């Protein structure tokens, strides 16, 4: 409501789920293998499902106290103070808020290309120039070029691991960017996919850097995309800017599932290994049969369609397998989400069928 009142209402189609759904253009086939939205087919953990089921009539209550306890627990796990953590409806929500808060006609939004589209869509609303900086040959963010892109940049967006490539930027490059970015700008590090990789987080740097904003989500490894639970981690003045665009209250079901999930010490390593196995088996198949792809360490990768990627997506849909969208800078590459081992076998079978 605050966004609308300020004339800053965001268009539909600016979150990962909406972008993926829009790319389909038609209703998904019944029983399709869905490898198009970077969702986790495992869903919430068993403990999280049980905890939500036990809520009963409490689902009719606001989550104020539970949300406060969740933020305090996350802060404790990260070695931060509770006031450094805020919950949001997924991570696209605080990304949009950050673009609106820290960019404008004279304060550019700088991002890696190919990269997640939501930020530059929000930049259209703030009136900010959106400056795309190509990834490096290793598909890391080019920290040097991003810092030099605009002397008056307001926000630098770095997704690590990157969406859509599933590749990482070394921590030392992020630290360099913090030290060398334009004065007065905010470095936003989106760690939506960090749990799938062995890459080190930069959350520990928040306490000493008031110009760093880190985003997390429960939508990916934790399997809670439909529950809409995300986090922004930053010093209070930055979080206050995000809150100024309206309420951040989360659902009691999402908060409950998140609280149980973060206290399960086996959940992240088990699911990371599960996804890695399915991903590496798929890469072995692609290599064996000569398909081009970019190796990734996340739950998605870019596949060379060797033709306009939309054509491959249409052919795969006829095999009841949905793959993701392409990016204008890479029109012949389609993003593929890593599903279960069984789903990836169906993907491989379908790919052979439509490329024979």
124-136 pLDDT, tens digit each: 999 999 999 999 9
Kindly indicate whether the domain formed by 2-43+266-355 is annotated with CATH number 3.90.1150.10: yes
pLDDT one-digit tens code per residue, 197-228: 999 999 999 999 999 999 999 999 999 999 99
Mean pLDDT of the region 27-52? 92
Q: In what order do the strands lie in the sheet with 300-304?
A: 293-294, 300-304, 333-337
CA distance 260 to 46: 10
Q: Classify the C-alpha dihedral 189-190-193-194 as positive or negative.
A: positive
Which carries the bigger pLDDT value, residue 178 or residue 9? 178
Q: 46-262 maps to which CATH number?
A: 3.40.640.10
Structure tokens at 268: 């992240």
Distance between CA atoms of 326 and 313, rounded to whole angstroms? 9
If you average pLDDT over residues 300-321, what whole number do you get? 96
- Higher-pLDDT residue of 269, 29: 269
In the predicted model, is pLDDT for residue 242 greater than 60? yes
pLDDT greater than 90 at residue 15: no
For 261, residues 6+ apart whose C-beta sits below 8 A from its C-beta are 44, 45, 47, 48, 218, 222, 224, 267
DSSP 296-308: -SSSEEEEE-SS-
240 pLDDT tier (thresholds 50, 70, 90): very high
Give the per-residue pLDDT at 21.
59
Is the pLDDT assigned to residue 4 strictly greater than 60?
no
Q: Reply yes or no on whether the pLDDT at 249 is more than 90.
A: no
Whether 347 has a pLDDT exceeding 70, the answer reads yes
What distance in Å separates the CA atoms of residue 289 and residue 191, rounded to the nearest whole number? Answer: 33
* Domain boundaries, given as residue ranges, for the chain: 2-43+266-355, 46-262
Angle, nearest 10°, between helix axes 252-262 and 46-53? 140
Q: Pick the residue with more confidence: 36 or 6?
A: 36
pLDDT at 50: 97
Q: At what angle do helices 267-288 and 341-355 cross, to 10 degrees?
A: 20
**What pTM value is reported for the model?**
0.92
| CA gap 345, 204 in Å, rounded | 39
Cβ atoms of 187 and 156 closer than 8 Å: yes
pLDDT band at 16 (very low <50, low <70, confident <90, very high): low
Three-state DSSP at 137 gives: coil
At 247 the pLDDT is 82
Q: What is the pLDDT of residues 67-102, one digit of tens each?
A: 999 999 999 999 999 999 999 999 999 999 999 999
- Dmax (CA) for the chain in angstroms is 57
Average pLDDT over residues 302-330: 96
Q: Is 44 exposed, middle or buried (0-12, 13-18, 19+ CB in 10 A)?
A: buried
């Amino acid at each position: 409501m605050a966004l609308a009142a300020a004339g800053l209402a965001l268009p539909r189609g600016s979150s990962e789920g909406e972008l993926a759904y829009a790319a389909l253009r038609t209703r998904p086939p019944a029983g399709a293998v869905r490898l198009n939205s970077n969702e986790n087919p495992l869903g919430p953990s068993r403990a999280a499902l049980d905890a939500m089921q036990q809520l009963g009539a409490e689902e009719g209550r606001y989550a104020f106290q539970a949300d406060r306890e969740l933020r305090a627990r996350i802060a404790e796990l990260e070695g931060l103070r509770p006031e450094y953590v805020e919950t949001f409806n997924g991570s696209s929500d605080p990304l949009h808020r950050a673009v609106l808060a820290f960019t404008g006609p004279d304060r550019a939004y700088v991002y890696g290309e190919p990269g997640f589209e939501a930020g530059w869509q929000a930049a259209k609303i703030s009136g900010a120039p959106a400056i795309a900086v190509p990834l490096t040959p290793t598909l890391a963010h080019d920290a040097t070029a991003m810092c030099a892109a605009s002397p008056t940049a307001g926000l630098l967006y770095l997704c690590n691991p990157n969406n859509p490539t599933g590749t990482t930027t070394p921590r030392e490059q992020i630290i360099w960017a913090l030290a060398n970015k334009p004065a007065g700008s905010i470095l936003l590090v989106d760690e939506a996919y960090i749990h799938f990789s062995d890459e080190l987080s930069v959350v520990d740097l928040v306490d000493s850097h008031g110009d760093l904003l880190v985003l997390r989500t429960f939508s990916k490894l934790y399997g809670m995309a439909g529950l809409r639970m995300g986090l922004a981690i930053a010093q209070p003045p930055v979080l206050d800017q995000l809150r100024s665009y309206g309420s951040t209250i989360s659902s009691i079901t999402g908060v409950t599932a998140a609280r149980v999930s973060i206290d399960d010490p086996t959940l992240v390593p088990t699911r990371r290994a599960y996804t890695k196995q399915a991903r590496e088996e798929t890469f072995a198949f692609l290599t064996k049969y000569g398909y081009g792809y970019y190796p990734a360490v996340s739950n998605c990768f870019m596949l060379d369609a060797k033709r306009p990627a939309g054509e491959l997506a249409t052919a795969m849909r006829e095999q009841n397998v949905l793959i993701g969208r392409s990016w204008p800078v890479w029109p012949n590459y389609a993003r593929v989400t890593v599903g279960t081992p069984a789903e990836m076998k169906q993907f491989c079978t379908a790919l052979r069928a439509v490329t024979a």
